[in-house]
Amino acid sequence: MTTPASRHHKRPRGEGQWALGYREPLNKNEENKKNDDGLNVRQRIIDVYSKRGFDSIDPADLRGRMRWYGLYTQRKPGIDGGKTAILEPEELDDRYFMLRVRIDGGQLSLEQLRVLADISNLYGRGTADLTDRQNIQYHWIEIEAVPDIWARLEAVGLSTTEACGDTPRVILGCPLAGIDTEEVLDATEQIREVHDRFIGDPAYSNLPRKFKTAISGCPAHCTVHEINDVAFVAVVNEHGEKGYDLWVGGGLSTNPMFGKRIGVFVRPDQVSDVYGGVIGIFRDYGYRRLRHRARIKFLVNDWGVEKFRDVLQTEYLKEDLPDGPAPEQPRDSRRDHVGVHPQKDGNFYVGFAPRVGRVDGDKLHLIADLAERHGSARVRTTVEQKMVILDVAPDRVDSLVAALEAIDLQVNPSTFRRQTMACTGIEYCKLAIVETKATASHLIDELEQRLPAFAEPLTINVNGCPNSCARIQVADIGLKGQLVVNDQGEQVEGFQIHLGGSLGVNPGFGRKVRGLKTTADELPDYVERVVTHFEEQKKDGESFSDWVQRADEADLK
């Protein structure tokens, strides 16, 4: 018999943490993963779905496990943003897929780049987007084509394995690893070890949510370690030894948090083990009950750094790690590697800016041809939706720059071309509310005409929904897509505005001013207005984000 007193002493509700005994699925996503590991969908795609077509796909695979191989159904054309949160998934689904190819460390050979270009033209209607996590994304992919796409990718060492899903996704790395004249150390080997040990391993293929990683020795901190689930940032300790500072628990979306320094010094040969410990903690102690609290940042925030370090060392590593130093501040507020710069070996690298990350199969072929013609065999992708050609001899740099700019790949771009980023948006994404790529591209054109002399660093990040794939909270001007009402009382596409977000020296999330929104049509007018106020009021050396913190609200509207 239950007494009133006993009702007040029930066992507290668990968060779905496996290590504490909560193994029963607590939501539909966890149930699907318990029913079958996402990695097992590959064989069904090859043997069944690619042969029998889209209608043969099990719904649990279609909207769940296929993400383990980089496949999401794309948005059915013609569905406006007002329907995004209203329609059922099957009403939003098109019969085509977005396919994401993971490019760990952003490293590509010309052979790989040409295969990526061929797949775009053969199967993706020419689409190929550079993401802000160094990947390539295609659209219009039919299920029948997937086995051949995989065969082409895997023949040159590329893969879509765990490019999406509740898995360890692509590992970010500096595109200049091994060649930067100022790098602390070359992280290429550590990225390879972590990839080979953990990617595709069923022991780590059922995480509470996605898991984002960065491993870098870059002095510009180009892999934005502050907002990754786990990051290894190169440092030099008091004994002159090179290693890594460990950061855990960064992430944006609807509840942004910066990663926290665990305070340990990790030798290069320890990175794989320490990574395994961190991802093991996430797997075992991560929250699985509520999907929106299933990222590692919530666990780190609740536990605190001291407890996290203790559990990592005692339960997973079985050894203590020494204390270590914090990273040096980034050498440049622009962390994108655009432009012409020297390498260690006397050659140069050439970084260039496609328009908001949008390229296509033909352009990828042209990039490969230009690189080869100018003596390079290596290209790289960046976390800013840019690309870099390595190993260009000094006497070939000018020719390469001219050739790139002739096909609208700017090596010396305006601030607006260089630092405007956009997510996929409503064109293909089922979560989006507004269009992003074309809006951002138009914004660039308008600002270049209206403010041709503006040269200060200024990031403008355009996102189609609240999920922050384009990192709106850490942008100077972050634009979150939503429907707004225009002067005629009509509901139209627009944006909530975040101002003054930043990483690096003074990290902070963007300031939200009450009621500050704009329609998509009025966006160029708004940005021109606020940037003009900044130019008129800024002090010597003052950044846009610093100005925003002291500016009057009237000057931000």
Which domains does the chain show, CATH number per domain?
A: 418-550 (3.30.413.10)
Q: In what order do the strands lie in the sheet with 387-392?
A: 107-109, 378-381, 387-392, 348-352, 339-342
d(CA 498, CA 484): 15
pLDDT band at 332 (very low <50, low <70, confident <90, very high): confident
Token pair, residue 298, equals 């919530």
pLDDT of residue 3: 47
Answer for the pair 191, 266: CB distance below 8 angstroms, yes or no: no
User: Residues 485-494: pLDDT tens digits?
Assistant: 999 999 999 9
pLDDT for res 504: 87
Q: Residue 1: which residues within 8 A CB-CB, separation 6 or more?
A: none
Percent of the chain scored above 90 by pLDDT?
A: 93
Q: Cβ contacts of residue 444 below 8 Å, gap of 6+?
A: 355, 356, 414, 416, 417, 420
> Given this model, what pLDDT does residue 2 score?
46
Closest by CA to 242, choosing from 195, 278, 197, 189, is 189
pLDDT surpassing 80 at residue 10: no
**pLDDT tens digits along 102-144:** 999 999 999 999 999 999 999 999 999 999 999 999 999 999 9
Q: Largest Cα–Cα distance in the chain?
A: 88
Q: Given a cut of 60, is residue 365 above it in pLDDT? A: yes
4 has pLDDT over 80: no
pLDDT exceeds 90 at position 393 = yes
Average pLDDT for 48-63: 97
Q: Which residue has the tokens 């979150």?
A: 480
The predicted model gives 402-420 an average pLDDT of 98
d(CA 350, CA 405): 12
Q: Among 509, 529, 526, which Cα is nearest to 517's?
A: 526
336 SS3 class? coil
pLDDT at residue 12 tops 90? no
Continuous segment of H or E residues that includes residue 423 = none
Convert the pLDDT of each residue in 257-310 to its tens digit.
999 999 999 999 999 999 999 999 999 999 999 999 999 999 999 999 999 999
Give 143-191 pLDDT, tens digit per residue: 999 999 999 999 999 999 999 999 999 999 999 999 999 999 999 999 9
pLDDT at residue 7 tops 70 = no
Pairing of strands 477-485, 491-499: antiparallel
- pTM summary value: 0.96
Tens of pLDDT, residue by residue over 493-548, are 999 999 999 998 889 999 988 889 999 999 999 999 999 999 999 999 999 999 99
Q: Write down the pLDDT at residue 440.
A: 98
pLDDT, one tens digit per residue, over 431-489 is: 999 999 999 999 999 999 999 999 999 999 999 999 999 999 999 999 999 999 999 99
Would you state the structure tokens that stand for residue 474, as one six-digit string?
């850490």
Q: What mean pLDDT is predicted for residues 52-78?
A: 97
* Mean pLDDT taken over the chain: 95
Helix or strand or coil: residue 223? coil
